[in-house]
Structure 1
Amino acid sequence: MHILATGGTIAGSAPSPVDPGYDAGVLGFTALVDAVPGLRSVAALTGEQFSEVGSQDMSDQLWLKLAARVNGLFSADEADGIVITHGTDTAEETGFFLHLVVKSQRPVVLTGSMRPATALSADGPLNLFNAVSVAADPRAGGRGAIIAINDDLHSARDVTKSSTTDVQTFVSPDAGLVGTASYGRLRYFRYPTRPHTADSEFTVEGEVVLPRVDILYAHANMPADLVRASASLGARGIVIAGVGNGNVSSEVAQTLADVASDGVIVVRSSRVGSGDVGRNIEMDDDGLGLVASDQLNPQKSRVLLQLCLVRGLDRGLIQDAFYRY
């Protein structure tokens, strides 16, 4: 079992056990493991300090390096499962990226915490214990990337962060849990129904950069020049965090159509926390040349669109990919 420590709140330190302010990612891999009684009895552990960042600083470049490291460990048969400690802010994005580009059925489990390691009632140690238990369990294989946190197991495709402060922040609002973990006792409810990992068409092997895709947040009286600015600054794709069913104003819709006709791929997602974004319902996607995100929120739509652009898919095939993944 191999642990890749990337930083985050789980490795954070605060001035006192009850201070809400803290520095993320300052504690190393060894300190994380030593804080969890009995962890080394769950599995034979190896690990490394992959990075030391708060997950707000997770980047495309770190994603590419992380995917290469995970795939390398599996292909060299150096790990039966991998645990990634990660900040909670962007764990769902990193998880979904790995869900699509890791080429193994072996378990990949992300975990983190809402409270720093030095906090009163820190949640990180038990989350790490459960994550290692999942990664060491053969039954976890074939489920894609899993986020194990606060006794719940989520598919990285479906999970999202729902609260800025609540320990029970992660939810899978439409699909529900993959399973639960209670002090290493594991229950599984389902497998993801859409392709992932070894069955995914996407790969980033040999890639050194991902295409720029911007997310624009829709709101009442949204200015259309935001769309033009994004396109002019080099975005190859734009994801709209639309109102309701991925909607935007008539003015913005026309501007989206204009940049789409110039080759920018535009995906309509929603700023609403759950539900589908349907094609040609309130907006004429066919006429405007847009893609509907189906079930993916804006941040995950960005990940999938980047990978579609890496593959060189056209708009029609990208729409198919959003239906499949």
Structure 2
Amino acid sequence: MKIAHRTAALLCSFAVAAGVSLAGASAHAEERKDLPEVAVIGTGGTISGVSTNRVSFQDYRSGQLAISKMVDELRPEVDGLADVTTEQFGNKGSSGYSIADYRKLTASVDAALKKNDAVVVTTGTDTMEEFAYWLDLTVRSDKPVVLTGSMRPWTVIGTDAPANLYNAIKLAASRKTKCFGTVVMLNDEIQAAREVRKTNALRMDTFESGRSGVLGTVDQDNIRLNRAPARVQKCGKAGWRTPFDLDRIVGRVSAKEETKEKTKEESKPLPKVEIAYSYQDAGGEAIKAFADGGAKGVVTAGTGAGGISPAMSTARTDAVKKGVTFASTTRTGSGAVYDSTGTTGVIGAEDLSPQKARLLLLLSLAATNDEKLIREWFATLGTAQFTTR
């Protein structure tokens, strides 16, 4: 469902009903034409939650409020920022969405960006970092995409939900993150999709970017940007876009419900990629099961700089022989696993988290079987750095 405030005729009819001149209504319509156009896409999560009572901070039902209702509760404040429309993509917890749903979300964001200056997506926070990185890798427009959510439901005292949504719309409307890719805005802080992680199950300051630090902050009327993702260096160039054009590599998927008439190409699934966690004396059964179950890729969350147990190493070697591609990450939460091109079938993911390395590997395997090219994508796109050239 969409709610638009772009019809001058509707403004005029309201004006007549209120006894305001048509000239005044027309002037108001002209003022609104100068505002940036921002689409807000709702997917559910805690931000749309309804609590049992006003102090049940963790006892609530998520995905209860429509995004249109939430935005309407912020009017007239957001009307001074942008011409805002809303779209209800879904209304459930972030963990309830599949990779097939992610494909449709990309299609929805792409469609909205063709008509608007920026897009805000509301999600649950549990897998928000994965929502963000997926969109960062698959949305082809360089217009701002801002994700937000909340750690407390909309209906409790002290909720962060309305402020986060307002600030996300404010940031999107400013268009200051053009060419940044997807960013996350919660708790007044702006974070890059690639680095941001949820670090606490309950606290409102849960999202952090490790040693990279936040991109900036939203302080009431001030939007401060102290750094930018490295990809901003390619702004305006063809190389800014990632190679993951979903329409090309896996076939077009409508943002609407898929029809029975879809072609085989249109229904082509993305490859299966799993994560195997290493620990003291870890067995190799998980890796073997993933390989036997049809996984094209596996990410290992290793100890230290990517170490895995002997049993896991043996299972990985066997899986590589079967054509499974591995990405090596660390479970420590910081540091890097550097690539060693001499290890066939195993790619170092540097400082990508296991869950984000999985998304990059999944999309890479959807696009190509060329291991050398996938290594190049991990070394450039996956670990983009500023250059002086």
- Give the TM-score band, short-chain normalised: over 0.9
Corresponding residue SS for 2:283? coil
2:155 corresponding residue in structure 1: 118
Is residue 80 of structure 2 the alignment partner of residue 34 of structure 1?
no
**Structure 1: segments with no counterpart, 5+ residues:** none
CA root-mean-square deviation: 1.6
Q: Which moved more, 1:183-192 or 1:221-230?
A: 183-192
Is residue 185 of structure 2 the alignment partner of residue 142 of structure 1?
no
Partner Cα distance (2:67, 2:112) in 1: 18
Matching of residues 255-266 of structure 1 within 5 Å: 255-266=315-326
The counterpart of 2:215, out of the listed 174, 178, 185, is: 178
1:253 corresponding residue in structure 2: 313
Corresponding residue SS for 1:221? coil
**Structure 2: segments with no counterpart, 5+ residues:** 1-37, 253-266, 382-389
Is residue 321 of structure 2 the alignment partner of residue 279 of structure 1?
no
Corresponding residue SS for 1:53? coil
Is residue 280 of structure 2 the alignment partner of residue 227 of structure 1?
no
1:25 corresponding residue in structure 2: 63
Is residue 330 of structure 2 the alignment partner of residue 292 of structure 1?
no
The Cα of 1:247 is off from its aligned counterpart by 0.9
Contact 2:49/2:65 (8 A) holds in 1: yes
Partner Cα distance (2:120, 2:63) in 1: 16
Partner Cα distance (2:276, 2:74) in 1: 41
Q: Which moved more, 1:176-185 or 1:22-31?
A: 176-185
- The share of aligned pairs that are identical, in percent, is 35
1:66 corresponding residue in structure 2: 105
Q: Kindly tell me the number of residue pairs found equivalent between the two proteins.
A: 319
Partner Cα distance (1:175, 1:268) in 2: 21
Q: Give the 3 Å change call, closer, same or farther, for CA 320–198 of structure 1 in structure 2.
A: closer
Matching of residues 32-181 of structure 1 within 5 Å: 32-36=70-74, 38-75=77-114, 78-181=115-218
The Cα of 1:62 is off from its aligned counterpart by 1.4
Cα shift readout 1:66-96 (whole Å, capped 9, x = no counterpart): 1111112223xx1100000011111111111
The counterpart of 1:201, out of the listed 223, 233, 243, is: 243
Bigger relative CO (Cα 8 Å, ≥ 6 apart): 1
Contact 1:89/1:161 (8 A) holds in 2: yes
Contact 1:254/1:288 (8 A) holds in 2: no
Partner Cα distance (2:101, 2:220) in 1: 31
The counterpart of 2:376, out of the listed 295, 320, 323, is: 320
Partner Cα distance (1:268, 1:287) in 2: 11
2:224 corresponding residue in structure 1: 187
The letter of the residue matching 2:227 is R
Contact 1:240/1:298 (8 A) holds in 2: yes
Q: Which moved more, 1:180-189 or 1:194-203?
A: 194-203
Corresponding residue SS for 1:63? helix
Cα shift readout 1:172-195 (whole Å, capped 9, x = no counterpart): 003211111122520111221147
TM-score of the superposed pair, with normalisation by structure 2? 0.79
The Cα of 1:289 is off from its aligned counterpart by 3.2
TM-score of the superposed pair, with normalisation by structure 1? 0.94
The counterpart of 1:215, out of the listed 275, 284, 298, is: 275
Cα shift readout 1:149-200 (whole Å, capped 9, x = no counterpart): 1010001111010000110000000321111112252011122114799521
Contact 2:328/2:347 (8 A) holds in 1: yes
The Cα of 1:232 is off from its aligned counterpart by 0.8
Larger radius of gyration: 2
Partner Cα distance (2:67, 2:244) in 1: 30
